[in-house]
Copies of this chain bind each other. A is one copy, B any other.
């Protein structure tokens, strides 16, 4: 690990449907994203368009135990919507803003190679699970060194010609962990709240910083509710694997980062 290399900062930012589905929110977010200094990678999820297209085409969403199944028809839809419609429109907008974006799936450049989830009790279909060596950080570095900003959608491949559906949150954290050896990496999850809240109904109750010790306390006091637990567990896993910090916050607040102002909930080893 060359110390000089780590002087480069990298922000990996994940956005979901709440940003993608609203053209004004998306526009503002992409402007703030473009103005961030240093290297950056955007990861986006799906939004309502895939669901709407499936409904129009009469393809029923298959759910087992509340979890979505990616059958071959659904894979076709998400390849069209995530990899085509959403990804390429985001790229065109970033280019308008002067950001030299390239839209990608994990198949492109062999950047993210996953394994089709094995069938145990449930067959999840064409879903790809990220493994230890799934991501090729050197290949991604080559692309960024050439001056391009990667924009990843929630698709990967198995290296055998098969595209697979992979959770965008998982892609973002796996990219951060993998690239942390080359860059001083911050992972940012944008969602529909200001960050981790003491009281979920009070946006003013934002917890600004969480360190591993205070995280344990917050869990014991049951201030962090069940839905937030896996998100934060993943975040601390990323931090333990070398990611400098993880920010969980609202997309509309990203601009504050540029102004060196606080934004969302920052998780780090020594917060």
Binding site for B on A (CB under 8 A): 56-57, 76, 79-85, 87-89, 91-93, 95-96, 100-105, 107-110, 139, 142-143, 145-148, 155, 157, 159-163
Contact = CB atoms under 8 A, between A and B. Distances in A.
Nearest to A97: B161
Given A79-B88, A83-B88, A100-B139, 16 more contacts: A76-B85, A80-B80, A80-B85, A88-B108, A88-B155, A91-B108, A95-B110, A95-B159, A95-B161, A101-B108, A102-B108, A103-B104, A103-B105, A143-B148, A145-B146, A146-B146
* Number of identical protomers: 2
User: For A84, A89, A105, which residue has the most chain B Cβ atoms within 10 angstroms?
Assistant: A84
A100 B82 CA distance: 21
Given A84-B81, A85-B79, A102 B100 contact: no
A84 B95 contact: no
B81 A163 contact: no
27 contacts: A57-B57, A76-B85, A79-B84, A79-B85, A79-B89, A80-B80, A80-B81, A80-B84, A80-B85, A82-B84, A84-B85, A84-B88, A88-B108, A88-B155, A92-B157, A92-B161, A95-B110, A96-B159, A96-B161, A100-B109, A101-B108, A102-B102, A103-B105, A103-B108, A109-B148, A142-B146, A146-B146
